[in-house]
């Protein structure tokens, strides 16, 4: 299963970040994105406790039960090994964090889940890889731009890097050219106003444009 998810990330090149979406909107939102070509969704834990870890795990389970094998569902903002275990029990398939924590990465791999920790410096990126990460997300990518990815990839060409934070239709081609193998994108697809207005067709169209862009077949904004 791990290899299937790794292959899916490499092929699809897009993980959509879903944060702060109510349970009632989860399935309509996810279906809208699925219709636009999205195949990997990340449901984030709340570091501030505004949503309990149990509720987040329940949301992951709801989506996994609904989609089955049609979509890969994982967790984001995973800060502790306990959240890794909750995600596994809920049916989640990959773990994404904003930072590099050895115990989180190692627990993820022990549970046979795909690991995608966040890192910023070359030392952090290499440490995450050495701890067992399958991908390392450079976060926040917009702060350093595509040239940073290119510079890091020169000596660390063996590490699969994801660009996350500030990624949009305009800069996706630059990140792809620099060597990013995929992206994490949130609010530019999970548009809150569209969700509030029930405009799920609009979200499908946004998803379609981003899916085309990350695969190098779309137009920029």
pLDDT at 221: 45
pTM of the complete model: 0.96
Distance of CA 80 to the CA centre of its chain: 17
Coil vs helix vs strand at 13: coil
Q: For residue 183, give the DSSP letter.
A: E
Please check the confidence at residue 109 and state whether its pLDDT lies above 80.
yes
Helix (H) or strand (E) holding 14: strand 14-18
**Average confidence (pLDDT) over 108-118:** 98
Listed in sequence order, the DSSP H helices in the chain are 2-12, 23-35, 53-67, 81-90, 102-110, 122-131, 146-153, 172-178, 192-196, 200-214
Domain ranges of the chain: 2-214
CA 91/CA 95 separation, integer angstroms: 12
161-204 residue pLDDT tens: 999 999 999 999 999 999 999 999 999 999 999 999 999 999 99
pLDDT at 116: 98
Q: 126 vs 51, 104, 109, 156, 158, CA distance in Å?
A: 32, 16, 17, 8, 10
Helices (H) and strands (E) in the chain, counts: 10, 9
Helix (H) or strand (E) holding 27: helix 23-35
CA 16/CA 110 separation, integer angstroms: 25
Q: For the domain covering 2-214, report its CATH number.
A: 3.20.20.70
């Amino acid at each position: 299963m791990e290899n299937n998810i790794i292959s899916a990330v490499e092929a699809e090149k897009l993980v959509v970040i879903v944060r702060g979406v109510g349970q009632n909107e989860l399935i309509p939102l996810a279906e809208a994105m699925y219709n636009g070509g999205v195949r990997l969704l990340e449901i984030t834990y709340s570091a501030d406790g505004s949503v309990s870890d149990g509720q987040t795990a329940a949301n992951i389970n709801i989506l996994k039960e609904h989609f089955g094998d049609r979509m890969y569902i994982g967790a984001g903002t995973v800060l502790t090994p306990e959240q890794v275990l909750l995600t596994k029990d809920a049916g989640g398939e990959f773990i994404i964090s904003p930072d590099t924590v050895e115990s989180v990465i190692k627990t993820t791999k022990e549970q046979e889940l795909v690991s995608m920790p966040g890192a910023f410096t070359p030392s952090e990126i290499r440490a995450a890889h050495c701890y067992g990460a399958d991908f390392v997300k450079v976060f926040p990518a917009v702060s350093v731009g595509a040239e940073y990815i290119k510079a890091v990839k020169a000596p660390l060409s063996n590490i699969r890097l994801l660009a996350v934070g500030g990624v949009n239709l305009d800069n996706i081609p630059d990140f792809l050219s620099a060597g990013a193998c995929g992206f994490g994108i949130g609010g530019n697809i999970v548009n809150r106003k569209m969700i509030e207005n029930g405009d799920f067709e609009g979200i499908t169209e946004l998803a379609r444009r981003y899916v085309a862009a990350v695969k190098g077949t779309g137009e920029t904004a």
